[in-house]
Amino acid sequence: MLKKSLVAVALVAILGASVQAGHVKMYKWPGHWIWDCVDLAEIPVYMKIGMYIEILDQDSLRIIMQQDAWRQYSGCVTIRIKCNFDAVLSCRFESNGAIPGDYSCSINEEKVPATLSDTVAEREVCVYGEKVAIVHAMPQKKLRVGTAIISVKPDC
């Protein structure tokens, strides 16, 4: 019986002490937990690099044909090229019909090696006209007669 009395007295003493306290103080410390990151995995990353070719300053390029012989005209322009693959250039001429004739286009060196830096390759694009009938137009300094179209394909 003595044991039961001691347990009861201890419980009453503990409950009484907690009721007398009234409230529990809480402190808000000026700080927080800082977690450290741990490297968990390393994943290799790959990139598919596409083919890139650029003809620099296209907006300023013009070919002005001049008379070489009777009914024969020609004109050339130098183009600057940057590319990340070995390329083969080709050229064709599309006439707009302003001056009838047999026109052709050529590039002095068709193969362009990959530059892979700030260096550029230079190629000369020329347009030739045979049997040009200038009688169909008034004299002018710059009559547009067509367009030189440059095409590219990879050098396999």
pLDDT in tens, 2-16: 455 555 555 555 555
CA angle in degrees (0–180, nearest 5) for 51-57-60: 145
Structure-token match 């013009």, residue found? 62
Tell me whether residue 130 is in a domain. yes
> Would residue 42 count as lying in a domain?
no
Query: Is 132 buried (19+), middle (13-18) or exposed (0-12) by CB count in 10 A?
Result: buried
The verdict on residue 137 lying in a domain is: yes
Does residue 145 carry a pLDDT above 80?
Answer: yes
Three-state DSSP class for residue 18: helix
16-31 residue pLDDT tens: 555 555 566 666 767 7
**Domain presence at residue 26:** no
Range of the domain at 106: 53-154
d(CA 48, CA 104): 38
Average pLDDT along the chain: 86
pTM of the model: 0.71
C-beta separation of 109 from 94 below 8 A:
no
Judge whether 28 lies within some domain.
no
Using CA atoms, how far residue 3 sits from 7, 10, 24, in Å, is 6, 11, 32
**Tell me, what CATH number does 121's domain have?**
2.60.40
**What is the average pLDDT across 48-62?**
94
Distance CA 90, CA 125 (A): 9
| Number of structural domains the chain divides into | 1
